[in-house]
Amino acid sequence: MIPGVPIFIPARLKQAREARGLTMISLAELLDISKQAISQYENGSSSPRPEILERIASILKLPVEFFFRPVSDESHRKIFYRSMSSATKTARTRGERRYSWIREIVSFLSELVELPTVQFPTWKFPANPIQISDEDIQRAAQETRKFWGLGDGPISNVVWLLENKGAVVSRTMLAAETLDAFSEWDSVEDRPYFVLGADKGAAARSRFDAAHELGHVILHRQIDKLSLSRPADFRLIEQQAHSFAGYFLLPPSSFVNDFYVPSLDTLRALKSKWNVSIGMMMMHIARLGLISEDTGLRLWRSYARRGWKLKEPLDGDTPVEKPRMLKQAFELIIDKQILSREAVLSTLPLNATDIEELAGLPQGYLTGEQAESNLLLFTRKR
């Protein structure tokens, strides 16, 4: 092996490079070294000299210590995406690498605070998605509401609901038009994770993304990982998660009573109550058989003419739901002086800006003045 930093972890370089959306060639150009050198660093046939590692860390905006930490095995992961198109492959890879950092953040926090207990339904659905019927999906949405004692009215905050039931939710930039969110039920921790895109600012659409990913967690926990790579299965799985989100956010037992005239003005009025998009409601009323195919086509044409495909009415009136669980955990650790900000950053060697974004902390929180916090969700581990 060519002399270099002996404790350098090759997988960390690949993880960091892909998290920044860089190819080997682009990173090599930034470092003014060869692509072959980057390849050798990543496959472990050589390691960078100290001065090269310093430059790598500077360009990738990570502490040098980041490259000395072992990485966890990720081969068991089964992640559900909203899109598997080739156009989003780089974005998916970037998202997965940043998701690994979320997992490291959660592991760090779990050593210091007690995260909310997971309280999700554990029903088993068929491993073959073809065997999951629409009746199964509607019943699953209804029973999930019942399991959580939600009644049949609008849900005030979907993200906080998921967090209060033990899910980890993070909102981050996913950098792809067709990549809105992804999720995983971690079989090792037995805890669900939801990563929501911060790229789009419409609260109603973001709530749908969260409910869609909840559909995957409820319906598709038993599905074989290989099914996600088969286009027909993937499309069916996505349709089923769409249906679940509709039934969960707009339970037929109450929503049908609100829908009295098949017009866009009616749906616009309902948007302020149910806080879901007009487009989503149009798909849902068609699914429920409340309108004919011709009426549906008329509504969609009118929807397009009004320019609502790009931005719907009321989109800017409601703030996007922001996760708070990880944020409050960090605030508890620092406010209660369990660890100082400096100790947090030395124990969790990631870029402070990355931690702040992934955990929903204010920019500069880990490097600036301490902010006031609400410590409702957590108790210190004893």
- Examine residue 312 and state whether it is found in any structural domain, yes or no: no
CA-to-CA dists, residue 11 to 16, 21, 101, 260, angstroms = 9, 15, 13, 58
Residues 280 and 354 in one domain: no
Assess if residue 60 is contained within a domain: yes
At 93-140, the pLDDT tens digits run: 899 999 999 999 999 999 999 999 999 998 999 999 999 999 999 999
Q: Is residue 279 part of a domain?
A: yes
Any domain includes 301? yes
Do 292 and 370 belong together in one domain? Answer: no
* Distance from C-alpha of 266 to C-alpha of 278, rounded to nearest angstrom: 10
Q: Is residue 46 part of a domain?
A: yes
Q: What letter would DSSP give residue 196?
A: E
- Residue 382 pLDDT class (50, 70, 90 cuts): very low
Residues 310-320 have a mean pLDDT of 90
Whether 158 shows a pLDDT value over 70: the answer reads yes
- Give the residue with greater pLDDT, 82 vs 5: 5
Does the pLDDT value for residue 157 go beyond 60?
Answer: yes
**Tens of pLDDT along 272-285?**
999 999 999 999 99
146 found inside a domain:
yes
8: domain CATH number?
1.10.260.40
95 occurs within a structural domain = no
Residue 381 has pLDDT above 60, yes or no: no
Q: Are 228 and 345 part of one and the same domain?
A: no
The pLDDT of residue 237 is 94
CA-only gyration radius of the chain, Å: 23
Q: pLDDT, tens digit, for every residue of 84-105?
A: 555 477 888 899 999 999 999 9
Residue 190 shares a structural domain with residue 271:
yes
| Average pLDDT of the residues in 338-346 | 95
Q: Is residue 202 a part of any domain in this protein?
A: yes
Q: What per-residue confidence (pLDDT) applies to 251?
A: 97
Domain count, the chain: 3
**Do 69 and 349 contact (CB within 8 A), yes or no?**
yes
Q: Is residue 201 domain-shared with residue 300, that is, in the same domain?
A: yes
Residues 1 and 114 in one domain: no
* Beta bridge partner(s), residue 169: 194
Question: What pLDDT does residue 226 have?
Answer: 81
Domain around 3: 1-71
